[in-house]
Chains A and B, each alone.
Chain A
Amino acid sequence: MATRLKEADVVVVGLGAAGGTAVWPLAQSGMDIVGIEAGPRVTEKDYPFDEIRNDIRDWMGRFKANREVPTTRLNSTQTATRPLGATGPMMNAVGGTSIHWMTQSWRYLPWNFKTRSETIKRYGASAIPAGSTVTDWPFDYNELEPWYDKVEYRHGVSGQAGNVKGKINHKGNIFEGPRKRPYPLPPLRRSGWNELTFDAAKKIGVKPYPGPTGIRSHAYHDFAGCTYCGFCGWTGCWTGAKASTNLHYIPQAEKTGNLKVVSMARVTEVNVDKDGRASGVTYLKGGKEYFQPAKVVMLSTYMYENVRLMLLSKSKAYPNGLSNNHGQVGKHYMGHGLASASVMGVFPGRRLNLYSGTIGQYTAIDDWDADNFDHTGMGFIAGGMASATMESKPIGTANTIPPNVPRWGSGYKAWLAANADSVGTLAAQMETFSYDDNYVDLDPVVKDDLGRPVLRITFDLKDNEIKSALWMQDRLKDWMTAAGGQNIWTYPPAVYSPNTHAFGGARMGHDADSSVVNRWQISHEVPNLVVLGGATFPTSTGRNPTETIQATSWRAADHVAKHFKSLVA
């Protein structure tokens, strides 16, 4: 029997980028907040520069993510599997994946919020990919802009603005939506590789700029600047220069006295009362079961776990899972990196010094994303933001060899000795859309360590995604050639999942027949259930999601704080 705890106004499940951000406006509003997190509290001592521990074994996912790794398959005729020793795509700690994220910090483009209507307007209804369920977001860029601004100034994003109140600056991204004011901090330091690729992009007639980053380029508020150490992604920042909710949101929320953090606690179910309202959550901590009652339940775990928790939380009111009486939970699934276009090239005899900096230290190109170019006659819509980043590590470097080089033995060793740190990579974050037959549900066989079903991903690349990836590879080859790369190679587009950029499954929209939550991310069916994060995104876009996850979470939390009384009435 679960121990019943004192009722909270809001229980927030998962304190990462989404929940870790939301608790700050919630706690400021004076409500009683309980934040439940599966992982421990960590400090800079938990971030050793160890590629095996961090990048390969996902040590920080050991308390949860690694015990419930989803299975995958390409279509519903296959049996879903996962490789031996697979690790989870996310980590568990107070601060969550905002601790080990790769730090590219983006606002989505205005087009991203209106992909369906803008595509039909420009190219006609036949341009919408066959079988796709792509839809407009229930709000537009301008409506979200104030929250992008709050996030950027709260933790300090470094970048070069390209559009301040409609005034275009060609040093920044001319394709971005209008922003109220510039970034609070200038871009990170420019490396030799950043500048080489910047100049090459100019040569081929596109508009490169230093990409925005959730890392302070110099000291900001109480936190140090970046030291360009080269161990940034898959681990935390030893100086605190990286924007993470365990530094900039959660402690300050705790200081208000209104947030109680429960760490090392795994939520197993969202409970529901007889009227179909969420009554709280059940969690396990130290081998004991607790029931945390709450007036509002906010799900802010990763996309996969948000959906799994909803599907596992079956009740009389919701026999097919929480908020799933319209069969929308798990639908409209998308992932990034699936059609990822990467192109590698060798710069013989040159030392690129990629063993330093961060993925957030980069040259970016937007000319090939969204509707920033004319797609007439191309057979696909959208594209991706392309980038030339820093931060290679030794094992990754040893694995980045051209297909015409031996993969082992003396030939392999000799090639590495001659070319290691002379290989550059250009990559694009390709947009993928939602389709009728790409979805997630509960695996009928594979269980987690608690004996509950893991999530099952059914996902394949469609014509639009393959065509856009192949087209992008040609753009990246042009860019690589202009930079001086030789022996250029790439790989065919292939499915990559589970994914660190996963979207959908509880998407937001105007009605219960095609979405799970409304424009404020409140369930259409459960009046006091809020869902945060990528699970609610109607499109995946061609860039990294963290800043938009934070901005939408802050916005949803503001709404809950403002309308709390009517929400719980």
Chain B
Amino acid sequence: MSEKSSGEELQSGLSRAQLVRRAGMLGAAAALPGVAAAAPAAADAAASDALKALTAAEATTLDAVLNRLFPTDATGPGAKEANVLRYIDWSLAGDLSVFRGPYASALAAIDAYAVQTYGAAFAALTTVQQDQLLANMEGGAPEKAALNNKSNPQSGFAPSSSAVFEMIRTHAIQGMFGDPAHGGNVGFVGWNLVRFPGPRLVVPNHEQQLDVVPKKALKSTYQLALFKNTKHTP
């Protein structure tokens, strides 16, 4: 039985009992062999970069932030190659729509902070300046500075610069290391960085032992025949 046919049978509703019997025939370790990817539905992922939620101006600022969180550097590709921007944009148009408002306010506040500090929008700054502003936000410096401004003790960030930083960092990590079906991790850039070999239906004994380098199985889970028609977002 080829892997492909086993995948098709699963799709066509092979009963569990039949599945167990087949697995028995195949022997223990290789039980229930990997349901091979059906011809990758050329991931409509790649299809489009058109913005779904963010405005072009917001995307410019967010992209610049993401490129400092995960820079393209000597370690390899970063947020740009992984298209983390697209992950966040798609999410804001879908499951994370509740964050749409907070992103609008966050990105405006970042640009205002950049103008106030260095006289230009965030995306127009040098990478050294950008890193300085992000480090300030991470540590809550804008709030500390605002406390000294008696006439206007507001930092401009809601609820705070560190909360804004953490929101973007949290989503950036999701876009970098999550399944590519959600728009990010293009080319498995994130999975390669953390040495995740990809979704495997069956992991053999030796690949669970120390210092063994597992065989790469890089694909979206939605390219596995079993999950080809499964929804990942409403």
CB of A233 to closest CB in B, whole Å: 15
Bound-state CA distance A290–B131 (Å) is 58
Does B142 lie at the interface of the complex (its beta carbon under 8 Å from any beta carbon of A)?
A: no
Q: A219-B23, A398-B176 are in contact. Are A228 and B134 (CB under 8 A)?
A: no
A394 and B210 form a contact (CB under 8 A): no
- Summed over the interface, the residue pairs from A and B with CB atoms below 8 Å come to a total of 184
Does B2 lie at the interface of the complex (its beta carbon under 8 Å from any beta carbon of A)?
A: no
Contacts of A42-57 to chain B: CB distance below 8 A: 44-53, 56-57
Q: A85-B96, A227-B32, A395-B174 are in contact. Are A353 and B20 (CB under 8 A)?
A: no
For B134, the chain A residues whose CB sits under 8 A away are 408
Which residue on chain A has the smallest CB distance to residue B210?
A192
B209 and A192 form a contact (CB under 8 A): yes
B210 and A351 form a contact (CB under 8 A): yes
Q: A48-B232, A228-B208, A351-B210 are in contact. Are A413 and B73 (CB under 8 A)?
A: yes
A240 and B195 form a contact (CB under 8 A): no
Contacts of B58-95 to chain A: CB distance below 8 A: 68-71, 73-76, 78, 95
Does A461 lie at the interface of the complex (its beta carbon under 8 Å from any beta carbon of B)?
A: no
Does B156 lie at the interface of the complex (its beta carbon under 8 Å from any beta carbon of A)?
A: no
CB of B1 to closest CB in A, whole Å: 15
Which of B24, B208, B222 contacts A390, CB < 8 Å? B208
A225 and B31 form a contact (CB under 8 A): yes
Which of B68, B76, B181 contacts A409, CB < 8 Å? B68
CB of A145 to closest CB in B, whole Å: 30
B75 and A192 form a contact (CB under 8 A): no
A398 and B203 form a contact (CB under 8 A): no
Does B213 lie at the interface of the complex (its beta carbon under 8 Å from any beta carbon of A)?
A: yes
Which residue on chain B has the smallest CB distance to residue A45?
B230
Per-position 1/0 for B84-118, Cβ under 8 A of A: 00000000000110110010000000000000000
B193 and A420 form a contact (CB under 8 A): yes
CB of B111 to closest CB in A, whole Å: 19
A219 and B24 form a contact (CB under 8 A): yes
Q: A227-B32, A395-B178 are in contact. Are A50 and B232 (CB under 8 A)?
A: yes
Bound-state CA distance A414–B172 (Å) is 17
For A399, the chain B residues whose CB sits under 8 A away are 173
Does A193 lie at the interface of the complex (its beta carbon under 8 Å from any beta carbon of B)?
A: yes
B226 and A44 form a contact (CB under 8 A): yes
Bound-state CA distance A121–B133 (Å) is 60
B208 and A84 form a contact (CB under 8 A): no
For A84, the chain B residues whose CB sits under 8 A away are 98-99, 102
Which of B68, B71, B199, B208 contacts A189, CB < 8 Å? B208
Which of B99, B195, B229 contacts A421, CB < 8 Å? B195
Does B41 lie at the interface of the complex (its beta carbon under 8 Å from any beta carbon of A)?
A: no
Does A229 lie at the interface of the complex (its beta carbon under 8 Å from any beta carbon of B)?
A: yes
Q: A84-B102, A224-B31, A229-B201 are in contact. Are A49 and B208 (CB under 8 A)?
A: no
For B178, the chain A residues whose CB sits under 8 A away are 50-52, 56, 394-395
For A416, the chain B residues whose CB sits under 8 A away are 193-194
A53 and B232 form a contact (CB under 8 A): yes
Contacts of B189-229 to chain A: CB distance below 8 A: 190-191, 193-197, 199-203, 205, 207-214, 221-222, 224, 226-227, 229
Interface size on A, residues (CB 8 A): 60
Which of A196, A218, A357 contacts B203, CB < 8 Å? A357
A408 and B199 form a contact (CB under 8 A): no
Bound-state CA distance A301–B69 (Å) is 42
Does B157 lie at the interface of the complex (its beta carbon under 8 Å from any beta carbon of A)?
A: no
For B191, the chain A residues whose CB sits under 8 A away are 394
For A62, the chain B residues whose CB sits under 8 A away are 234
Does B177 lie at the interface of the complex (its beta carbon under 8 Å from any beta carbon of A)?
A: yes
Per-position 1/0 for A28-50, Cβ under 8 A of B: 00000000000000001111111
For B226, the chain A residues whose CB sits under 8 A away are 44-45, 238
B99 and A56 form a contact (CB under 8 A): no
A53, A191, A420 pick with most chain B CB within 10 angstroms: A53
A353 and B210 form a contact (CB under 8 A): yes
For A394, the chain B residues whose CB sits under 8 A away are 177-178, 190-191, 194, 196
Bound-state CA distance A48–B178 (Å) is 13
Per-position 1/0 for A43-79, Cβ under 8 A of B: 0111111111100110100100000000000000000
Does A417 lie at the interface of the complex (its beta carbon under 8 Å from any beta carbon of B)?
A: yes
CB of A421 to closest CB in B, whole Å: 5
For A45, the chain B residues whose CB sits under 8 A away are 226-227, 229-230
Does A356 lie at the interface of the complex (its beta carbon under 8 Å from any beta carbon of B)?
A: yes
B214 and A50 form a contact (CB under 8 A): no
Bound-state CA distance A346–B91 (Å) is 33
Bound-state CA distance A484–B194 (Å) is 21
B202 and A229 form a contact (CB under 8 A): yes
Which residue on chain B has the smallest CB distance to residue A413?
B75
Bound-state CA distance A47–B227 (Å) is 8
Does A231 lie at the interface of the complex (its beta carbon under 8 Å from any beta carbon of B)?
A: yes
Per-position 1/0 for A400-432, Cβ under 8 A of B: 000000011110111011001100000000000
A409 and B177 form a contact (CB under 8 A): no
CB of A485 to closest CB in B, whole Å: 13
For B70, the chain A residues whose CB sits under 8 A away are 408, 412-413
Does A133 lie at the interface of the complex (its beta carbon under 8 Å from any beta carbon of B)?
A: no
Does A153 lie at the interface of the complex (its beta carbon under 8 Å from any beta carbon of B)?
A: no
Contacts of A221-243 to chain B: CB distance below 8 A: 222-225, 227-231, 238-240
For B138, the chain A residues whose CB sits under 8 A away are 407-408
Bound-state CA distance A443–B184 (Å) is 38
A350 and B211 form a contact (CB under 8 A): yes
Contacts of B167-192 to chain A: CB distance below 8 A: 169, 172-174, 176-179, 181-182, 190-191
Does A355 lie at the interface of the complex (its beta carbon under 8 Å from any beta carbon of B)?
A: yes
Bound-state CA distance A417–B71 (Å) is 13
Bound-state CA distance A356–B213 (Å) is 13
For B195, the chain A residues whose CB sits under 8 A away are 351, 355, 420-421
Bound-state CA distance A26–B24 (Å) is 34
For A258, the chain B residues whose CB sits under 8 A away are none
Per-position 1/0 for A368-406, Cβ under 8 A of B: 000000000000000000000010011101110000000
Does A446 lie at the interface of the complex (its beta carbon under 8 Å from any beta carbon of B)?
A: no
Bound-state CA distance A441–B211 (Å) is 50
Does A317 lie at the interface of the complex (its beta carbon under 8 Å from any beta carbon of B)?
A: no
Bound-state CA distance A395–B178 (Å) is 7
Which of A224, A228, A240, A351 contacts B213, CB < 8 Å? A351
Q: A45-B226, A49-B199, A52-B182 are in contact. Are A357 and B232 (CB under 8 A)?
A: no
Which residue on chain A has the smallest CB distance to residue B19?
A224
Per-position 1/0 for A328-368, Cβ under 8 A of B: 00000000000000000000001111011100000000000
Does B150 lie at the interface of the complex (its beta carbon under 8 Å from any beta carbon of A)?
A: no
A53 and B233 form a contact (CB under 8 A): yes
CB of B176 to closest CB in A, whole Å: 7
Q: What are 9 A-B contacts with C-beta separation under 8 Å?
A: A49-B221, A53-B179, A191-B208, A219-B23, A222-B17, A224-B31, A229-B202, A353-B214, A409-B68
Closest 8 CB pairs of A and B: A192-B210, A420-B194, A49-B199, A191-B208, A192-B209, A48-B227, A49-B221, A394-B177
